[in-house]
Structure 1
Amino acid sequence: DRIMQAEKSIFLPSQASVKIHPVVIFNILDHYIRRNEGQDRVIGTLLGYNNDGVIEIKNCFPVVHSEGDQIAVEMEFHRKMLDLHMKASPREPIIGWYATGCDINENSVIINNFYREEMNGTPIHLTVDTGLTNDTMGIHAYHAHALTDHPEASLGTYFAPLPLEILTFEAENAGLDALTGNGANSAQLQQDDPTSSVSMLSELESLQGSLAKLDQILDNVYQYISAVEKGEIQGDPRIGRFLAKTIQSLPKSSSNIMDKVINNSVKDLLMIVYISSLTRSQLAVAEKVRQSLN
């Protein structure tokens, strides 16, 4: 039943777009790093959902395959993995497949047909350029069209590109900030000491960094508005409407109320930190007493 749910028909409209989460890209890169010796590329199954033409890729898993004179895909392994996934996330059916590299060849057409039969619909094909062509890891999404001049005769398959956007949750942003925000420092540490590591920011440091970014954004907005008012630059009506809409969405409350709310939240946070530290101390004392009695 779960596999049948995953294989429900998915037909893409002409204006379809794709959104992908960073964890999917990391899983694909991890699969490529762990590939068998001599294997040029790896493939796997993409999971997510289709929301009125917006395809959101939320997860993936690798699929064993081989390419040579003949191509072989372990579809039974794929079905078992899909069944396990559907037990944990029944609302994320199969939506396509991925492959490393930037090339689309005749083997891609065969694999795409495998997934088309599994889904009974149009699969998304995602490519991740692990070869870093032009020093860039290109990530592209496609869906296949059959080229034909007769209903019963196919001239080939054409992979049409789809708009692609990387979509992140707040929790994912924390990990990305740790990778990109400390990128220069971590690169220097790895160069000086390959065994070194970069620690994650604490909650207070993360909050401080977020507030600093917000302050910088507000300063940029202020400078832009001031330049428009002085006639130094031509104002963009779209930016003006966006700023007006943003300001209207803010809750209307006095600064005294906001200060009180923030102070109360800070006091609650400090109390939780104090209680946590006290609990750890009590547990450590209890453990010392137990060891001394034994």
Structure 2
Amino acid sequence: MAVIEQFKMPGTSLEKVVVHPIVLLSVVDHYNRIAKGTRKRVVGTLLGEYNKGVLNITNCYAIPFEEDLKDKDIWFVDHIYHEQMYTMFRKINAKEKIVGWYSSGPKIKKNDIEIHEKFREYNTNPVFVVIKVQENETLGIPTESYCSVDEVNEEGQLEKNFVHIPSSIDASEAEQVGVEHLLRDIKNVSIGDLSKHISDKVLGLKALNAKIIEMKEYLDDVLDEKYPVNTEIIENLQDIFNLMPNLDFDSIIQSFSVKTNDYMHMTYVCSLIRACIGVHNLINNKVAIIERERALLEEEEKRKKAKKELEQKEKENNQASQKDVEMKDDK
């Protein structure tokens, strides 16, 4: 079994986790191959580099993982396979270290803290990234990052708990070019820029609404004394609402209405134009098919006529030959 040196990564100074596109693509491929259409989730190892408070997750690989869906205390991670895979990856890029692990989630489960502690054998402070692979689960960015800390529970004992770390999606220049080439074949050219702009706005509003509901549920739980009051969270929420613009003005309401009506009018006109173009293309295709069929029929008729003329000519030649033979016989 390969011996892997434990990577010492600072925990307190970790400010942000950046996930690169190749990681997202690899996790989605892993999920589609192993667990698509089931209640299972997939688990893998994250590789990357730490630099000035920012952890760049640049690569990953899948590892065999099984868990009992009824009893979450029963789980298995093939650490021998994991260590052999990392040994091969290290030969390709020695700078990429084991920085943590990922799960397809979509939420944290009871045994995740135990799996997280297993990865401490390879990193002093690993990160846990939940990557949401289902399309209906991703209103915002599809990643949530966590690290574990020691906290004192109600009984006065230390226990491990996950704390959230800000995360984002970013790519190098080479990765951006690769992603553009990858998306070129699946891009729907029938959707115009305006329609895409409106769709993005709708998705953004849905994500905002989900976050507001989440904040409301948290405040309700604090009022019901399910959670202790966290002054830092309360101050952040207050700052968010203080930064919101005051829209209760007739001029602003009218401007929004006019802008919205303009967008709706342009969308309607563009949809009509697209429909008219589609109908014209359909008519042109129908006309082209009819003309092609007519041309084929004309060619077939010409071929039959030429064949008939050839047969008639051969028949006349045969008759002339027979007459010549009869005249010679009479002489």
Which consecutive unaligned segments of at least 5 residues does structure 2 have?
193-331
Q: How does 1:145-184 map to 2 (within 5 A)?
A: 145-148=149-152, 153-154=157-158, 156-180=159-183, 183-184=187-188
User: 2:132 matched to 1:129?
Assistant: yes
Tell me the TM-score normalized by structure 2. 0.50
| Deviation string, structure 1 residues 127-175 (Cα, Å, up to 9, x no partner) | 111233455362111111122269x942x33221212122212222123
Conservation of the 8 A alpha-carbon contact between 2:4 and 2:122: no
Q: Aligned equivalents of 1:135 and 1:167: distance in 2?
A: 17
2:118 paired residue among 105, 111, 114: 114
| Count, aligned residues | 184
Give the secondary-structure state (helix, strand or coil) at the position aligned to 1:125.
strand
What residue number does 1:233 align with? none
CA deviation string 1:19-60 (max 9, x = no partner): 121001100111001115746100000001111221010100
- Measure, in 2, the Cα distance between the counterparts of 1:87 and 1:186: 45
Tell me: CA distance 1:187–1:144, structure 2 relative to 1, closer, same or farther (3 Å): farther
Alpha-carbon distance between aligned partners in 2 of 1:179 and 1:81, rounded to the nearest angstrom:
26
- What are the Cα deviations for residues 2-30 of structure 1, in whole angstroms up to 9, with x where unaligned? 8534x221122245211121001100111
Cα deviation digits, residues 60-106 of structure 1 (max 9, x gap): 00010101131111011111111111111111110000000221111
Q: CA RMSD in A?
A: 2.8
SS at match of 1:34: helix
Following the alignment from structure 1 to structure 2, what is the Cα–Cα distance between the partners of residues 74 and 186? 46
Distance 2:190 2:97 in 1: 37
What is the alpha-carbon distance in structure 2 between the residues aligned to residue 186 and residue 178 of structure 1? 18
> Is residue 49–residue 57 contact of structure 2 (8 Å, CA) maintained in 1?
yes
Distance (whole Å) between structure 1 residues aligned to residue 32 and residue 61 of structure 2? 14
2:109 alignment partner in structure 1: 105
Structure 1 residue matching 2:23: 3-state secondary structure: helix
Distance 1:134 1:66, change over 3 A: closer
Q: How does 1:1-294 map to 2 (within 5 A)?
A: 3-5=3-5, 7-35=6-34, 38=38, 40-68=40-68, 69=71, 70-119=74-123, 121-134=124-137, 136=139, 138-148=142-152, 153-154=157-158, 156-180=159-183, 183-185=187-189
| Structure-1 separation of matches of 2:188 and 2:35 | 32
Q: 1:62 is aligned with what amino acid?
A: A
Q: Could you tell me how far apart the structure 2 residues matched to 1:147 and 1:186 are?
A: 53
Identity %: 27
**2:12 partner SS:** coil
Asked if 2 retains the 8 angstrom alpha-carbon contact of 1:127 and 1:139, the reply is yes
SS at match of 1:27: helix
Structure 1 residue runs without a partner (length 5+): 189-294
Larger Rg: 2
